[in-house]
Amino acid sequence: MENYEKLVELVAENLGVDQDKVNENSDLFEDLNADSLDLVELTMAIEDEFDVEIEDDNLDSIKTVKDILNYINGK
């Protein structure tokens, strides 16, 4: 499974939304109704799943699924 598919599954599971509502342009807060606690929990799940470390300073720049994907892929 590629990173995007794993990420969609992880985001949907952690935010309690259907996978079909999650795409790379989905805004975590506006489209998927995440709050700051959701973002922290999602970040921990992403770090575990993808073996990456997301610094707290970088959380402010993560708004969409694509932002997360770019971070995971090192862009």
Residues 6+ apart with CB under 8 A from 69: 3, 4, 7, 24
Residues whose CB is less than 8 angstroms from the CB of residue 13 and which lie 6 or more positions away in sequence, other chains included: 45
The yes-or-no answer on residue 35 being catalytic is yes
Q: Which of 31, 35, 57, 67 is catalytic?
A: 35
Active site residues: 35
